[in-house]
């Protein structure tokens, strides 16, 4: 017992002595303080988790995803607009996908598009950044790809007033008239009964007009040194498709490096820059030698260089050489391919429907009467032609997913939360074909639907969005359709057209290809037959 007691005592003693040792190392207030702090932390943690479960974001419906790649596997092997359309049939008009590590909201109805492009435009008007557009636009000094900022506002203002404004429009119309004449001459010289590749014909026309208006260059007559501009542009457009590096920060960058993509991107951007720089130097030289030039002789590049070098130019007008070059890149990459694709789709739909072809040709020939040349005034009277071009853009918006938008901060779309830095893609292709808005014949090419319908793409309507909307809407929304109308009017005024090889009109294939811009998979080849006015 004693022993036991002693033992107890001893052990108590030992215990208390060990406590003493601990307390002799740490001050006596430490243990209660630590205890208090841990209780406080647990309290804070519980509060935070309760709070976060109370305000957990309500994210849009999201298809099941795989680790690391997210929803990428659901997009493989098909054009993105079709993959998104299929998923939207199951998950609805707003979905949240994870493409690699990038959250991406997909919009597939006009009601949701209106919320993005109008109601929440002030938040969803930025652009995501990626290596390709960064390099192509000299580190985002441009207007099309630069994130939303005061700089974007300045660049857009210059583009709209100097490239698309009324002064330039007069010059552009004159250039278009001349180049369409050259195009018609090349059609007339084509061996009879041989098909013409209309993709090539339209590409040559739009390129020539763009070059002349932007650089004052007679593109058709000046062979280039080094790689041809076609080659450069083709490669640029191909590289603008998303790459691994855009969606997988670490591994993607390694893959882009190993696959040679980065090397190719560097080379293509250098070629493009050298090309544009040579024109900048050439213009600088001419300005230096010739001094002031008549306004009518100034191309876009000339105007910008002159404005920037004027002593009294305001900060809004003054651009660096790099900013000027970035605008030229925007015009080449944004304006040529989209306009050509629209012309080709329009002619494809017209030739597929002999009814539309006949009605349209009667309108064009009646409005203009017999004359040497069509002009703008003739075309402005052609109401059915406008409906045909509108119907083409409804069914075949060349930029099927517009350009990607990105959220500047948190907002709500359709009652769902969209978090900051989320990419937003609007499926314009699906919106234009929605049977709930366009009726049972939504997939049919039927221009007459616009006879009693006020729907338009110039803002205010979201049933078709071929030019996007809101702050980032295409600045060429008025001028580009006019170019398409004038070209189609001329081809149908002077020529009747038939498909080679005895293919029935309605059997003409309409397969699509492309990611950023949707083209016909196979070129459109048609035989021109000079119209006989005496018949
Ligand atoms: C039929 C022809 C064209 C179509 C269908 C088209 C379509 C589009 C679309 C869908 C967008 C994105 C809008 C958005 O993100 O909401 C866009 C942007 C843009 N387009 Fe066009 N485009 C055409 C012709 C042109 C032309 C001829 C130019 C030449 C100047 C041009 C220059 C631009 C620019 C600079 C932007 C970026 C605007 C910004 O972010 O502020 N486009 N276009």
Measure the CA–CA gap between 152 and 49, rounded to whole angstroms: 40
Report which of 526, 535, 534, 520 is spatially closest to residue 187, judged by C-alpha positions: 526
Q: Does 474 contact ligand 1 (Cβ within 6 A)?
A: yes
Q: Is 507 exposed, middle or buried (0-12, 13-18, 19+ CB in 10 A)?
A: exposed
Question: What confidence score (pLDDT) does residue 147 get?
Answer: 97
216 C-beta closer than 6 A to ligand 1: no
Query: With 80 as the cut, is the pLDDT of residue 37 above it?
Result: no
CA of 335 to the centre of ligand 1 (A): 7
375: Cα separation from own chain's centroid: 31
Q: Whose CA is nearest to atom 32 of ligand 1?
A: 334
Q: Is any ligand 1 atom within 6 A of the Cβ of residue 158?
A: no
pLDDT category of residue 54 using cuts at 50, 70 and 90: low
**Residue 411 known to bind ligand:** no
Q: How far is the CA of 431 from the centre of ligand 1 (A)?
A: 18
* Atom 30 of ligand 1, residue of closest alpha carbon: 331
Ligand 1 pocket check for 466: Cβ under 6 Å = yes
pLDDT score at 20: 38
Q: Which residue has the tokens 């990038």?
A: 102
d(CA 194, CA 192): 5
Q: pLDDT-derived band of residue 21, with 50, 70 and 90 as boundaries?
A: very low
Name the most confidently modeled range: 125-134, 228-237, 300-309. 125-134
Whether pTM > 0.90 for this model: the answer is no
Cβ of residue 528 lying under 6 Å from some atom of ligand 1:
no
pLDDT digits (tens, 9 = 90+) for 142-192: 999 999 999 999 999 999 998 998 888 888 999 999 999 999 999 999 998
pLDDT computed for residue 243 by the predictor: 85
Return the pLDDT at 4: 40
State the average pLDDT over residues 500-506: 92
Beta carbon of 338 within 6 Å of any ligand 1 atom: yes
Which two structure tokens, joined as six digits, stand for 388? 């045909």
CA 464 – ligand 1 centroid, Å? 15
**Cβ 396 under 6 angstroms from ligand 1:** no
To the nearest whole number, what is the mean pLDDT of the chain?
A: 88
By most ligand atoms within 8 Å of CB, the mutation choice from 301, 334, 344, 461 for ligand 1 is: 334
Q: What is the ipTM of this complex?
A: 0.99
């Amino acid at each position: 017992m004693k022993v036991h007691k002693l033992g107890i005592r001893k052990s108590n003693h030992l215990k208390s002595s060990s406590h003493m040792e601990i307390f002799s190392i740490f001050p006596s207030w430490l243990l209660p303080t630590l205890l208090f702090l841990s209780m406080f932390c647990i309290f804070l943690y519980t509060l935070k988790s309760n709070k976060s479960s109370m305000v957990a974001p309500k994210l849009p419906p999201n298809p099941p995803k795989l680790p690391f790649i997210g929803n990428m596997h659901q997009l493989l092997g098909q054009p993105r607009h079709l993959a998104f359309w299929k998923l939207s049939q199951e998950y609805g008009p707003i979905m949240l996908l994870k493409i690699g590590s990038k959250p991406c909201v997909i919009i597939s109805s006009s009601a949701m598009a209106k919320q993005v492009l109008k109601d929440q435009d002030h938040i969803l008007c930025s652009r995501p950044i990626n290596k390709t557009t960064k390099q192509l636009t000299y580190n985002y000094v441009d207007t099309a790809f630069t994130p939303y900022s005061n700089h974007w506002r300045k660049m857009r203002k210059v583009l709209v007033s100097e490239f698309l404004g009324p002064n330039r429009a007069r010059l552009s119309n004159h250039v278009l008239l001349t180049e369409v004449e050259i195009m018609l001459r090349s059609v007339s010289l084509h061996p009879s009964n041989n098909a013409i590749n209309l993709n090539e014909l339209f590409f040559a026309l739009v390129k020539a007009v763009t070059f002349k208006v932007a650089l004052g260059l007679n593109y058709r007559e000046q062979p280039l040194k080094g790689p041809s501009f076609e080659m450069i542009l083709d490669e640029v457009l191909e590289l603008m498709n998303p790459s691994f590096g855009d969606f997988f920060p670490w591994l993607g960058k390694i893959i882009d490096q190993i696959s040679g993509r980065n090397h190719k991107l560097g080379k293509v951007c250098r070629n493009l820059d050298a090309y544009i720089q040579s024109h900048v130097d050439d213009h600088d030289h001419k300005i230096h030698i010739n001094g002031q030039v008549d306004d009518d002789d100034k191309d876009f590049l000339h105007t910008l260089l002159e404005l920037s070098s004027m002593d009294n130019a305001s900060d809004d007008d003054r651009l660096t050489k790099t900013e000027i070059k970035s605008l030229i890149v925007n015009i080449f990459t944004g304006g040529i391919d989209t306009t050509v694709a629209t012309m080709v789709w329009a002619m494809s739909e017209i030739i597929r429907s002999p009814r539309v072809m006949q009605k349209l040709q009667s309108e064009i020939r009646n409005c203009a009467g017999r004359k040497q040349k069509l002009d703008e005034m003739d075309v402005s009277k052609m109401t059915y032609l406008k409906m045909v071009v509108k119907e083409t853009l409804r069914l075949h918006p060349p930029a099927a997913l517009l350009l990607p938008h990105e959220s500047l901060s948190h907002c709500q779309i359709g009652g769902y939360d969209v978090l900051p830095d989320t990419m937003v893609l609007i499926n314009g292709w699906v919106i234009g074909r929605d049977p709930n808005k366009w009726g049972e014949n939504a997939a049919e090419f039927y221009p007459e639907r616009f006879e009693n319908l006020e729907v338009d793409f110039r803002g205010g309507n979201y049933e078709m969005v071929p030019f996007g909307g809101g702050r980032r809407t295409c600045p060429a929304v008025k001028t580009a359709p006019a170019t398409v109308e004038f070209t189609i009017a001329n081809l149908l005024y002077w020529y009747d057209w038939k498909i080679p090889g005895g293919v029935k009109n309605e059997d003409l294939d309409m397969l699509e290809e492309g990611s950023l811009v949707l083209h016909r998979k196979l070129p459109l080849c048609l035989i021109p037959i000079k119209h006989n006015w005496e018949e």
